[in-house]
Structure 1
Amino acid sequence: MSASSVSPPVLDRIRIGSAPDSWGVWFPDDEQQVPWQRFLDEVADAGYEWIELGPYGYLPTDPAVLREETARRGLKVSAGTIFTSLHHGPAVWEKTWDHVTQVATLAQQMDASHLVVIPSFWRDDKTAEELEPRELTGQQWRHLTSGMEKLSRRVREEFGLEIAVHPHADTHIDTEEHVERFLDATDSDLVNLCLDTGHYAYCGGDSVKLLRTYGERVNYLHLKQVDPGILADVVKQGTPFGPAVQQGVMCEPPLGVPSLPPVLEAAQGLGVELFAIVEQDMYPCPPDRPLPIARRTRRYLRSCGA
């Protein structure tokens, strides 16, 4: 049998979805973003069944309205997203929990299962100004890890959701070294990862290696690729993440890295059901750009067996 006629692997444990991020949505309200109705129409049109809430307030926050709007398009919600600065310790807990409660309440009412947790940025996303040191102190690491465990425990007890901590460019959980340090310092029964393949590659990490060595700690995936040529320039220039996105550092598959078939096969091999949500950062972008990319990406993932 020729290589071209070999069927793709069956990836029956992978639930494919997309997110407002793939439509250039980074903020609850922004004139450069498409209206939420258009996002819902187009994500369904592109062939996706699962979506994330995106920035809280972009999609309707009234669960009755959102349930009706998603149901009539055949869509279901996998997760909400929150931003945290838990390395600052107990002083930020109350403010953090207020934000979490808002998002988790809506996610729970939409029958979502996860809350994606993104650490705060150490440098400004637009100006590149350093807001705080790139490396955490020992005490800040302890605040971060104990805070995430507390957050997970309360989110699970009060909302029935699992947290998935998202290593992210320009945050304190970014490189392989930082990710492994974070995992080794947290309780595996409480704290697990949203592995974003694009962000991990952006920060020099190997997604397949992470899945093979810490696979039991990955409970959610974001599928994304980086353009290696643009990334090399970003690294050389020290460009912050926002301007890097505007340069096109995140690209549609299969044009970038990492190669997604090995990632999906490694994820399938974990033996658990995993959401794999497509996210192609491209804020801001022309309103007509996302849908054709979303269609091509969905067809490509089907060709990989997902």
Structure 2
Amino acid sequence: MAITGIANAPVSFGIFELTTDQEFPEPETILAPLRDAGYDGIDLGPVGWLGRGDALQRRLREHGLGLAGGWFDMPFTTGDDGEFDASLKGLDDALEIFAAAAEADPERAPLPTLADAGSEARRANPGGGQELMLDGAGWDRLARNVERAAVRIRAAGLEPTFHHHACTHVETPEEIDEFLDRTDVDLTLDSGHLIIGGGDPVDGWRRWRDRINHLHVKDVRRAVLDDVVRERAGMRAVWERKAFVALGAGDLDLASFMDGVIADGFSGWLVVEQDVVPSPSDPPGQAMEDQRRNRDVLRRWVP
């Protein structure tokens, strides 16, 4: 087995759900440079940004890129069943885009990337805590709703993955264990979010490698995370304070992590992410330069 490909993500350029109040660039402004930097794929970004149907397929083929996956959060644990039922319509809409990408590149099919929408209490407290964890009924609801979403994804001919994510109800190692025990959906291991949740990515890979079908690799500065957690400043502060940095510039033990991934023969997409909220003070072109550098760093393991 071998890695399907190295992808990047629109979030590395500040294109994601929290920045929809800003004008997004045209996809070509990042797709062509990413291809030239040696990336094999791109994550979805906001639903519709990359286009739909034939337009999406043409765009991916033109740049020789596959669609790796795409974030889709749902109210698995909050609200009533009616709220979750309503969210399934949005999932169906996104699945049409994923299915079109899979049709264009069936050997590198995307993995729809599910995540919990979290809660106000969790969003205010990156890193979680015992008092913020779900009770038994909450876990039952999450597992039941994840299964409903997974059935829909598999009916579309695709395989789901679940992203443990900061400020949600699947964040800490203990919560990831509980999630995997209660569902048959495999895991997107995100090195940065695992650190926020109090885990270690090298240990996480060893612990869950048989259930990991998708990788998000990001480096982080622990000192920034610690400040945000101590101040209870919320998840947006993690992005705004630029906790996520270029590979090698933070506290992730990238060498040990990637050595393990390669040695164990991981088969799937590896998505490089360097989440940012854009600022007028950002140097022009810095985001793309960081992504070129990130791809070069990974050539040690994936030429």
Sort the TM-score into its range (normalised by shorter chain). 0.7 to 0.9
Structure 2: how far apart are the matches of 1:250 and 1:303? 21
1:98 counterpart (89, 95, 107): 89
Equivalences for 1:94-173 in 2 at 5 Å? 94-111=85-102, 112-123=109-120, 128=124, 134-156=132-154, 158-173=155-170
Cα displacement (A) at 1:234: 1.5
Which structure: greater helix fraction? 2
Structure 1: how far apart are the matches of 2:46 and 2:14? 11
SS at match of 2:216: strand
Structure 2: how far apart are the matches of 1:57 and 1:124? 30
Q: Deviations over 1:221-248 (max 9, x none)?
A: 0010111221221222122111121111
Cα displacement (A) at 1:151: 1.7
Structure 2: how far apart are the matches of 1:110 and 1:208? 32
1:283 is matched with 277
Between 261-270 and 238-247, report the one with greater CA deviation.
261-270
Cα displacement (A) at 1:91: 2.5
1:217 is matched with 211
Report the TM-score when normalising by structure 1.
Answer: 0.86
1:82 is matched with 72
Aligned-partner residue type, residue 166 of structure 1? H
Equivalences for 1:238-253 in 2 at 5 Å? 238-253=232-247
Q: Is the contact made by 1:175 and 1:204 (CA closer than 8 Å) also made in structure 2?
A: yes
Over the aligned positions, Cα root-mean-square deviation in angstroms equals: 2.4
Does the C-alpha gap of structure 1 residues 13 and 59 become closer, same or farther in structure 2, counting only changes over 3 Å? closer
Cα displacement (A) at 1:14: 5.5
Cα displacement (A) at 1:105: 1.2
Unaligned runs of 5+ in 2: 103-108
How many residues end up aligned between the 2 structures? Answer: 288
Structure 2: how far apart are the matches of 1:101 and 1:14? 25
Between 282-291 and 236-245, report the one with greater CA deviation.
282-291
Structure 1: how far apart are the matches of 2:300 and 2:60? 26
Aligned-partner residue type, residue 250 of structure 1? F
2:60 is matched with 70
Q: Please tell me whether residue 194 in structure 1 is matched to residue 194 in structure 2.
A: no
2:200 is matched with 206
Structure 2: how far apart are the matches of 1:91 and 1:300? 46
Unaligned runs of 5+ in 1: 1-10
Does the C-alpha gap of structure 1 residues 303 and 268 become closer, same or farther in structure 2, counting only changes over 3 Å? closer
- Aligned-pair identity in percent equals 27
Q: Deviations over 1:30-76 (max 9, x none)?
A: 42543323122332232211111111022212x21111122111111
Q: Deviations over 1:164-207 (max 9, x none)?
A: 11011111111111111111222xxx311101111101111112
Q: Deviations over 1:141-178 (max 9, x none)?
A: 1000121122212311x211111110111111111111
